Structure 1
């Protein structure tokens, strides 16, 4: 079943189960997962299921003595809900090892085995959430470059991979990358593409219409479309693209019943949205939206893949190879993602005016 903001999950009779994948095992993913568990009491409002290699977790024992190592229970196969329930009753933390073999791991240096382990964890996490064993998938960061080089040529990230696995064909029409920050909610018209291609997409009325409809369908609310040129073109003085392409797209969306405004000058739009004037900003390209999100709330934002048939969230940072294996990585961003995920499950998020 496709879960949207309008369809909160029914978890009233039990704690929500979150499956958390390791990301690149040579990065900080395993460490922040363990730190999250160390900070969460056994009676927390959610139940964890880690998908991580034992070979990535056990080397962290010397630098993470506060982790409840005695509560970890390694599993050799995908568990059933009943098996997980039995582990919950004794306070155990289930850990599914997606690889199941011992190996030497070098923190900070992602090789072929690490790329393979990252994808094995992701595939297992997808299987768990699609089967209904878990209520949401929370992913730690992977290295796109390592996976593309060692394992899956052409890999561009979690979002497109998840969409392809779920049979979603077109970004914007079928799914969107969006970010939930404490005072700001931003969707992206385009993601990891060259700026020239992003501008072409912004001038494609069909693409803009599809993205607005996708955002309305899965989240809803008062939407502001960011302008392309300075001051959204200043009536054509600073560029004609806003008037030629974006103004008609907004007018057509309003005729379809969407509460859409713009194009709005991007230099002030995100501040206006953070003060409550809009529920969502649809940014035209990656950095237009993410500079605003990360400047306002780096480490506090949640990446949410809108349109999947299950709930998937992630942190807004990367693998941080330079910090890996030293016990100094900050788990607070992951904690914020867990809080946002629980808010999405309950229907408290996304926010609406």
Structure 2
């Protein structure tokens, strides 16, 4: 990665009952000292200490303003009544803690104290049980930053996918795929790919229906919703094609024909990425006034507390966040 972040990157611990604390400490222990010094975890000291013990890594927790020292991971401890909670069990307190960690990280980043945010996984059910009614990180971050909307991009070495919609039903997703929303998704993806080094990114927009509707035989949504958006984007000078039948598009993109795929709904984008880059894909939020990356896995309650959770995805999310911090917005 070229360059380095001058300000620290905030890492939110995620749901304390999940594997977030473990993947954070395992990743931090593996990183070079000069990289670990650029991290600031926002979470629970007790939970992180338990994670350090469970994983057996050699780390000590330090204050947010601690001077660089070997083996020290800086932490902003958020005191929450009722914490710590047990690993591996759904608990509304885990949802409340998740929300507070993220809200604090947003405050720090909007104030310019931190360069961006890396998020460990949260549990959507726990979040809603705590009274925070969001579809996950994407909606919550849009709310906390006052953004009209945000877009989920899944980034990997050979396949990058941005979504028109994510955590809604398939019926609602088709309705949300308006020409205006698709156009905005293409624009966001185009700007981001330029930011990470693709001067003129090649973008393909997936169709909604099988074979893009087969000239109306399987529906007219591709003709009425997708095609107009692609035409508008091309009129703006964006190198984009579509609609392209999704059953062949991802193979073509993975083979290097396209830099970015626009997926119309959650599973259309997630399944291909998780097939080819399950451990290394990074979730990136676009359309926010701050940078945010995340692991692309869940809380894994069945593994929490065992020390066996893989941290490869957290390393990838940290690396991508540092890449963004070193790149002009």
Instruction: Normalising by structure 1, report the TM-score.
Output: 0.84
Residue of 125, 134, 151 corresponding to 2:105: 125
In structure 2, C-alpha distance between the alignment counterparts of 1:144 and 1:315, rounded to whole Å: 15
Aligned to 2:169: 194
Residue of 143, 163, 171 corresponding to 2:142: 163
Q: Which runs of 5+ in 2 are unaligned?
A: 195-200
Aligned to 2:215: 235
Q: Does the alignment pair 1:211 with 2:185?
A: yes
| Alignment check: 8 A CA contact 2:15 2:123 kept | yes
Query: What do the CA deviations read for 1:275-322 (whole angstroms, capped 9, x no partner)?
Result: 221111110011000011111111211000012111100010000001
SS in 1 for 2:162: strand
Q: Report deviation, 1:15.
A: 4.6
Greater Cα offset, 229-238 or 311-320: 229-238
| Alignment check: 8 A CA contact 1:23 1:121 kept | yes
Aligned residue runs from structure 1 range 263-282, under 5 A: 263-282=243-262
Q: Which runs of 5+ in 1 are unaligned?
A: 1-8
Query: What do the CA deviations read for 1:104-162 (whole angstroms, capped 9, x no partner)?
Result: 5211113232222111111111122122222120000001111101232x221111111
In structure 2, C-alpha distance between the alignment counterparts of 1:237 and 1:114, rounded to whole Å: 48
Q: Report deviation, 1:89.
A: 5.7
Aligned to 2:76: 96
Aligned to 1:183: 158
Q: Which runs of 4+ in 1 moved over 6 A?
A: none
Aligned to 2:198: none
In structure 2, C-alpha distance between the alignment counterparts of 1:252 and 1:115, rounded to whole Å: 41
Query: What do the CA deviations read for 1:152-189 (whole angstroms, capped 9, x no partner)?
Result: 2x2211111111111112x3xxx211110110111000
- Cα 1:168/1:44, change in 2 over 3 Å: closer
| Alignment check: 8 A CA contact 1:24 1:110 kept | no
Aligned to 2:24: 33
In structure 1, C-alpha distance between the alignment counterparts of 2:272 and 2:204, rounded to whole Å: 14
In structure 2, C-alpha distance between the alignment counterparts of 1:124 and 1:104, rounded to whole Å: 18
Greater Cα offset, 40-49 or 283-292: 40-49
Q: Report deviation, 1:211.
A: 2.3
In structure 2, C-alpha distance between the alignment counterparts of 1:191 and 1:287, rounded to whole Å: 8
